[in-house]
Amino acid sequence: MTENADKPTLGYIGLGNMGAPMATRLLDWPAGLVVCDARAEALEPFTAAGARAARTPADVAATASVISVTVLDDAQVRDVVNGPDGILSTARPGTVIAVHSTISDTTAVELARICEEHSVTLIDAPVSGGAPGATQGKLAVMIGGPIEAFERVREPFGCWAELVVHAGDIGAGTRMKLARNLLHFVSFTAATEASRLAEAAGLDIRTLGKVVRHTDAITGGAGAIMLRTTTEPVDESDPWYSILGHVRNLGEKDLSLALDLGDRLGVDLPLANLALTGLGPGLGVGVGAPPENTAFSGPSTKEQS
């Protein structure tokens, strides 16, 4: 395998549910692909397609100069990067190591410092979109590290990611992923609360889910309001004030109606209560006027008793 400054030889370590479909999209990379996994059966489809198999991460680094790592956790990432047969034992100066695993941002910063001593650059590059996004080549990848390293990996990562963003310095990619997943799993928790309300109201939860997925695909879901550059309060003269004020008014009205329904059905809705008081201030436009056309004016009777 040969490489040049424009087309480095790629390495991929970890061919699991995420790594395998991501690496598959690199098989046609002009300068070649070297793959490594502890399971021999995971390597077979890649070698059959023309990739070179490496026994250890060190063997990968002996050939490749841009190396992706998708393993389980911080401990495995440490071993792959700096273990006895790790990448750093053979990596040439200028090698870029991209960690796609979701690890601690402090681990990324620590390993980047160690790599720097070897004239190697480590970037944290976690991905979002799950196995379906990996299979479809539609992942988002959030990169923390020097802009020079970002520019070097932008093209190969574009083979398996639809969105490639530079989040900032080392650790910033992981911090962005954690913020994104906070929204993801809080939203899942809110979905369970909505499901309880729907069930108590005699509705089909699966049909509700179909409606949610359909409309989120149109509106962008929670990400639709993440367009400002700051979370500071919005001045009334700012064009955003009327837009976000409208969102607040709609939200507070609908949340009040949902809480009224929950109160009548005896369903506790703690996240909805938090949202009612936090939506306007969170948007930067404060709490709106009391919603009209609803008898609901506060926490559920269950909480008041």
Q: Which residues are catalytic, by number?
A: 177
DSSP 165-208: EEEESTTHHHHHHHHHHHHHHHHHHHHHHHHHHHHHTT--HHHH
DSSP 197-250: HHHHTT--HHHHHHHHHHHHHHH-GGGGGTTSS--SPPPTTSHHHHHHHHHHHH
**Distances from the Cα of 77 to the Cα of 99, 112, 160, angstroms:** 8, 12, 21
> CA-to-CA distance for 80 and 164, rounded, in angstroms?
24
> CA-to-CA distance for 52 and 50, rounded, in angstroms?
7
